[in-house]
Structure 1
Amino acid sequence: MFVLQLVNTHIKFLAFDFLTLKPIPHESTNFSLKGRHLSCTKTMSIVVSRDFKPNRFIKLDIDDGTSCIPCILWINQETSRHFSHRI
């Protein structure tokens, strides 16, 4: 199956697009949207909520005006047993 891949290409993304991304099986860092493979995205949004768990993570909800995207920033990724078995 032929899949259109955009390399170093900028496209406009809305929060709705982020929420409809589908993971590609056997490729943990790549996603698919309308038949296109994506590996890196950027967004400009406003943080509308924040939940800080000391030594664990920061959970953010960011809003670009179309919808909110939930995000997690792991603080203890290098020392956590949860992540050590995945490396």
Structure 2
Amino acid sequence: MDALQLVNTHIKFLVFDFLTLKPISHESTFFSRKGRHLSRAEIIGIIVSRNFNPNRFIKFDIYDSIGCILCIL
């Protein structure tokens, strides 16, 4: 499948899939897994922990029943 055909396409990834993404060296905002490129993701799960530092960041873990993804805003 051509990479252009996957623009604005929803593909279901599990936590394992996100943790195995590889950065594409010439594009700082793109990642690759099994030949497919990814630039944006929407994560759905339950927030199981958070660390809020006012005026600096919020750090939280999202759990999707398979594993956790650490997120920092």
Matched, 1:22 2:22: yes
The answer to whether structure 1 residue 48 and structure 2 residue 31 are counterparts is: no
Displacement of 1:11: 1.0
Structure 2: runs of 5 or more not aligned: none
**TM-score, scaled relative to structure 2:** 0.89
Unpaired runs of 5+ residues, structure 1, are: 74-87
Aligned-partner residue type, residue 43 of structure 1: I
Q: Who is 2:31 aligned against?
A: 31
Q: Which protein shows a greater Rg?
A: 1
Structure 2 counterpart of 1:46, which letter? I
Matches within 5 A, 1:1-87: 4-5=2-3, 6-73=6-73
Any runs of at least 4 consecutive aligned residues in structure 1 with deviations exceeding 4 A, and if so which?
none
Q: Could you list the per-position Cα deviations for residues 27-84 of structure 1 after superposition, in whole angstroms to 9, with x for gaps in the alignment?
A: 11110011111111112110000001111100010000110000000xxxxxxxxxxx
Among all aligned residue pairs of Structure 1 and Structure 2, give the percentage whose two residues are the same amino acid: 69
RMSD value over aligned CA atoms? 1.4
Q: TM-score, normalised by structure 1?
A: 0.75
Q: Report the count of equivalent residues.
A: 71
